[in-house]
Chain A
Amino acid sequence: MNLSYRIYYVFLRNLVSYKRFVVPTFLVSLIEPLFYLITFGIGMGAYMGQFGGKPYLYFLVPGVLVSSVMMSSTFECLYGTFVKMIHEKLYDSLIATPVSAEDAVAGDIAWAVFRGLVSGSLMMLVAILMGILPGSLLSSLLLLLLMIFVGILFASLAMIVTSVSPSFDFFNYYTELIITPMLFFSGVFFPLDRFPAWMKTLSNFMPLTHAVKISRAVFSGEYESGLILNFLVILVLEMIAFYIGIKMMKRRLIK
């Protein structure tokens, strides 16, 4: 792994180009959570009664927070990176400078994490404005930290997909067959308790499940020791995905 501080330069390049997209992306990042919170939270929440003594929105918000990070960072490393690699040949220019292929890919992952963090924080802001407050200030800060870990994980996984993708269409397999089901199997919208055993097992194989569990605990400030295991799953998985993602992208970039 030939990584260096130049990751930051690649991140900076993305930040400079972001200036032009900042308004539309902020709007999307704000409207999407509103859509979830209003339809599911208020619409469906009306039928749900209390969840652990609190309104449904308290159950929903922590899950939607991490899933919006998942979505943003995934899409950035799928479509964003693919356009830069294939259509704009940006990576070819980059690796002809002292920036290595590893720096370039890691820089894009860092960027996707940032995008995820922006989405997640905007969503938290909306929730707070709606009166759904995290347990404490510490909870909010820990949630931001969690978003970074979740972002690295899903950005790296998306990099692996991008590294083998012949075209945009290929991404549909990943988003429709893996990411979207993950949203429904990970306990974002409803608790997993009443799933049959095999579904529970399946959901444990989905990294988002672990992120949602941690997020919910941090949001309410009610921790339990099992969370360490959830965190380890995310940490180990993201280290592996980061390593493989960079290696596979490098193989595609350097010929």
Chain B
Amino acid sequence: MSILVSARNLVKKFGSLTAVDGISFEIREAECFGFLGPNGAGKTTTVRMIHCVSPVTGGTLIVNGLPAHINNRALKKMTGVIPQEIALDNDLTVYENLIVFAHFFDIPKREAKKRIAELLKFVELEAKRNSKIDALSTGMKRRLLVARALLNNPKLIVADEPTTGLDPQARHLIWQRLRQLKSQGVTLILTTQYMEEAQQLCDRIVIMHQGQIFKEGVPSKLVEEEIGREVVEVRVPKEEDEKIIQQLSSFSCGHERVGDTLYFYCRDGQGLMRRMIELDLHNYLTRPATLEDVFLKLTGRGLIE
């Protein structure tokens, strides 16, 4: 599979602040690549450089064989952007928002009309064609942003936290549409703080923190490698840690104490659970390991600000 985006030692500085600190990655054609990280990790800054709205400070960034640059209209023409903020034109109706945007991409009027009809169907907004933006729910606005990003038949879609603030129905609809696009061969770049979203959509992810890439890989493998299969959370006073850790030492689990909870990361969760019952421990919870555990382990369970 060919490489669509390739970054080498990519750096972005805002004055004295280094937002992206020398990262390297490659995004293949037709995959979904996710940037995960807490607020301020540098995810949005990175994707903004990829879709050519923010200049690169250092390193190289090649997209579709061309260096990413704010004046690179050819790259902007083949890219669809679903922005983090709901940046719709409030003075215009749903349809006008799309037709005006189609102009920006030089799409001829007849073709634009046809495309808009298809897209409104695709995001299930046909009934809202002539509504003003104020009259739409947040979910509808996000769907309209998806439709707008698809007007130019993009080869690359950049979705910057596309489901922030949505209810489950709206979120699943957007996920389905994004998966549908991927199956049509579109390359998808996603930033998200929702681990479930990354697991649902991404073929490969990088976990970013403070402008750097901590880890790169396939979501399920990352979970397996970093955490194991199961997580057991035990809520006991800190003083009992040593005793419990010793009692469970035969299961060769990793463990970590955060706040009121002692976490065990293991492969054999069932054996561990039986042992817990024998030990007569009450306040515990066993669950499958998720990307969230990887994320929290790597970036620290403390509050990041």
Which residues does A use to contact B, with CB under 8 Å? 2, 4, 6, 9, 12-13, 16-17, 20, 88-90, 92-101, 254-255
Contacts and interface: CB of A to CB of B under 8 A. Distances in A.
A92 B84 CA distance: 11
B30 to A, nearest CB: 22
Interface residues of B, number: 29
Question: Chain A: interface secondary structure?
Answer: loop
B54 A254 contact: yes
B87 A90 contact: yes
19 contacts: A9-B103, A13-B100, A17-B92, A90-B89, A92-B53, A92-B87, A93-B88, A94-B104, A95-B53, A96-B76, A96-B79, A97-B76, A97-B77, A97-B105, A97-B152, A98-B73, A98-B106, A100-B73, A254-B54
Contact of B104 (A2, A6, A101): A6
Contacts of A6: 104
A254 B53 contact: yes
B71 A100 contact: yes
A88 B87 contact: yes
Contacts of B40: none
Contacts of A95: 53, 70
A16 B96 contact: yes
Contact of A97 (B14, B54, B104): B104
Contacts of B83: 89, 92-93, 96
B256 interface: no
Given A2-B71, A255-B14, A97 B91 contact: no
Contacts of A13: 89, 92, 100, 103
Contacts of A92: 53, 83, 85, 87
A50 B229 CA distance: 96
A88 B55 CA distance: 23
Instruction: Point out which of B14, B91, B152 has the most chain A C-beta atoms below 10 A from its C-beta.
Output: B91
A248 B7 CA distance: 30
A155 B95 CA distance: 30
B229 to A, nearest CB: 41
A6 B102 CA distance: 12
Contact of A89 (B87, B104, B152): B87
Contacts of A94: 104
Contacts of B51: 96
Interface in B243-300: none
A14 B260 CA distance: 57
A255 B19 CA distance: 12
Nearest to B73: A98
Contacts of A99: 104
Contacts of B68: none
A2 B72 CA distance: 10
Given A16-B92, A98-B106, A254-B54, A93 B87 contact: yes
A42 B296 CA distance: 77
B53 A96 contact: yes
B85 A89 contact: yes
B101 interface: yes
A12 B109 CA distance: 13
A110 to B, nearest CB: 15
Nearest to B149: A96
B10 interface: no
B180 interface: no
Interface in B217-265: none
